[in-house]
Amino acid sequence: MAEKTIMLVCSAGMSTSLLVTKMQAASKAREMDTEIFAVSAAEADRNIENKNIDVMLLGPQVRFMKGQFEKKLAGKNIPLDIINMQDYGKMNGENVLDQALKLMN
C-alpha cells in the first residue's frame, strides 16, 4: 500500500489522466511512495468510502462541486482543494504534486 494516496477528480476522469502520469513521474523522481489516480465526479463518492485517501484535488472544470465534496468529506480528515488552473492547463505534475503534499502537512 502506498504511503500517500492522492485522488484527482474531474468531470469524466479522462482529462486528468495525463496530469496523473506527470505527477507519478515527479513522485518517482523524488523516490516517494504514492498512489495517484483520477476519477470522474460520479465515481468519487465510491472511492471516498472505499479507499484510504490522503488528499483530494478537483480539476478546474468541477470547481463548482467543491461545496458538495466538503460536505461528503466532513469528519474524514481528507484535505480538499482545486487544482491551480495554470498548472492544470500546462499539465505541470511537479506543481500539482507539491500542492497535494502541502495540503497533507
Q: Which residues are catalytic?
A: 10
| 84 exposure class (CB count in 10 Å sphere: 0-12, 13-18, 19+) | middle
Which grid coordinates belong to 4?
500517500
Task: Pick the closest to residue 87 from 76, 74, 79, 98 (CA basis).
Answer: 98
Position of cell 492547463? Answer: 89
